[in-house]
Amino acid sequence: MDAFFLPLGDDRFRATVHTTGPWDERFQHGGPPAALLGRAVERCEPREDVVVARMTVEILGPVPVGEVSVRSRMLRPGRSVELVEAVLSADGRDAARAAAWRVRRTQQSGVPARVTPAPGLPTSALVGVPSGGWVDGYLSAIEWRFVDGRFDEPGPATAWSRMRHPLVAEEEVTPLTRALIVADSGNGLSSELDLTWHFINPELTVHLHREPVGEWVCVAAQTAISTGGAGLATTTLHDLEGPIGVGAQSLLVAPR
């Protein structure tokens, strides 16, 4: 159980308790399926000279904490840019689909980012599961070190995070999957409503201008909710060396 997914062969995996989302113990948090789709993107006609610059995950339905399978294909091959699709299926249906643009690495030198640097890494971690009806599983499988806010406090929040377990048993975690597994937490970190409300996302889009370095990823998130039931959670992502990208989640906001 010391992994988010146990491999079963033939691109099939069994999700462990570490994937369990905060809403319902039967279903996964969006982060582990997104990361598993990212793994499939990386393994589809792999090339050392490309990097994933943008990946969008469409969540087509609840992903069960059980057996899942993943398939991928090249949608648009190219020398400099290419589009890869990955699909996660469970219980005889497609539960999530990802589209990722991979771009060719070049010799272009970097330009310093004109953004506010991430705060320093706190020395203490969040202990225990937030109160108020949150379901444990994923929340404890990630180490959270909050700079501002908390899961059970409304408003923007900033937290450093790192995985306590590998994504797939006996595999090294890749930089892409390390970012994807926490990028889907923006709406939970920066929730503006208590758990008598749904603020769940049918999609996640992550833009990366640099692959994260090291095991720590900082997630700084805020949520906007407008009249009519829609919301948007936006997230900036950093590692200990600086900014790496941004994430966004469209939200369904409705009473539970």
**Residue for token pair 């969006």:** 30
pLDDT (tens digit per residue) in 148-202: 998 888 999 999 999 999 999 999 999 999 999 999 999 999 999 887 888 889 9
Q: Indicate the domain borders of the chain.
A: 5-105+119-255
Residue 7 buriedness (CB in 10 A; 0-12 / 13-18 / 19+): middle
Neighbours of 12 (CB within 10 A): 14
Q: What is the maximum span of the chain, computed from C-alpha positions, in angstroms?
A: 51
Output the pLDDT for position 11. 96
Question: What does the alpha-carbon distance between residue 118 and residue 239 come to, in Å, rounded to a whole number?
Answer: 8
The model's pTM is: 0.94
Is pLDDT above 90 for 107? no
Output the pLDDT for position 128. 67
Is pLDDT above 90 for 35? yes
CATH superfamily, domain at 5-105+119-255: Acyl-CoA thioesterase, double hotdog domain (2.40.160.210)
pLDDT (tens digit per residue) in 117-146: 788 999 888 776 776 678 899 999 999 999
Q: Residues 71, 100: contact at Cβ < 8 Å?
A: no
**Percent of the chain at pLDDT exceeding 70:** 96
Question: What does the alpha-carbon distance between residue 150 and residue 75 come to, in Å, rounded to a whole number?
Answer: 40
Q: Residues 61, 27: contact at Cβ < 8 Å?
A: no
